[in-house]
Structure formats: structure tokens, C-alpha cells
Amino acid sequence: MKTRLLGALVGLAISFALPTLAQQANKPDPQLREQFLEQFDTDNKKYAEAFNNNDATAVAAFFTEDAVFVTSTGPLHGRQAIEKWYADLFKKWHPKNLISKLDPNSLRIIGTPDNIAFNGEWSDTLQGQNGEAIQAKGYWSEIDTREGDRWKICVLTGNTTPPPPTPAQTK
């Protein structure tokens, strides 16, 4: 009886420990994490600059050749399609103040240390075709892959959160 109880307790302890060990195994080691965050910080500023300058070619250069970008209208496949999508977007909307914040606790290794998944939030002020300023914000998730000594976007998906309801809408 005592042996069965001891076996059950050991089994229970292992079942609680395994998810914790697996979660830690998916996090990048400190050196990789630091290297990735350093490049992300630099690239994030360059990406925002290209985005705010409405430069579709420069924005698309952050993606791998075979990247997937999931938009609200459906997925885009390949850097060329992504560049065209941004060029079309910039004809209608003129972003002026993209701010993107990475959740540093979200970094996870996907398969090999050459693939890192993470997420964050974004906000922007868009200038519409009639010159009106529109505030937008949302969340994004991304998988980057290492190409040589650089990290590039392999998969990007995001959303736009709806603005809070106006008083008239709540009645």
C-alpha cells in the first residue's frame, strides 16, 4: 500500500515538473536571447522608419523570400506579394507614427535555435485619403528565422483592435 502511494506521488510530481521543464526548454539561452533582442531593437526602429516613410520595398526587405504574412483579407505568400500589399496599403493610408513593442517574455524557440516566435503590440497614427488622422492599434505575432547572421520575418500575423464604443453605441 505504501509503495503504491509513493509511486502515485512520484508520478504526480513528475507530471507537474515536465510541463515546466518543457517550457524552459523552449526559451532561448541567455546569449541567443540577448543577441536576438539587440537585433530586434535595431531592426524594429528601421522597420518603423521604412513603414512611416511608406517605403514598401524597404518594409518587405525584412521578410524572408518565402515569408507568409497573414492579413485581415487573407494570407500573402512571398516577399514580392508582401511588398505589393504594402505598396497598395501606402496608396490609401499614410502611417506616421508606428510604435511596436515586443513582449520580451514571449520569446520561444520553434524547432531549432534558428527559429524564434514572439509577440507584441503596435499602435499607429494613419492619415487617410482626406487627410484625417486615425488612431489604430493591435497585437501581432511573428516567427523569425536566421539567415546568415541576420533574423528575418518568416511568418507575421496581426490584428487591429476595435476602438471602444462611443456613448451613442452603448445605448
Those residues whose C-beta lies under 8 Å from the C-beta of residue 153, and which sit 6 or more positions away, are 62, 63, 64, 67, 69, 142, 143, 144
**Residues facing residue 139 across a β-bridge:** 121
The pLDDT assigned to 129 comes to: 75
The pLDDT assigned to 132 comes to: 84
The pLDDT assigned to 17 comes to: 43
Give me the residue spans of the domains in the chain. Answer: 30-162
Strands 150-158, 63-71: pairing is parallel
Nearest by Cα to 98 from 61, 140, 70, 129 = 140
The pLDDT assigned to 168 comes to: 63
The per-residue pLDDT for range 20-40, each reduced to its tens digit, is 434 456 888 889 889 989 999
Q: What is the mean pLDDT of each run of 10 residues along the chain (171 residues)?
A: 47 45 67 90 95 97 98 94 96 90 94 94 87 90 94 95 71 60
Its pTM stands at 0.79
User: What dotted CATH number matches 30-162?
Assistant: 3.10.450.50
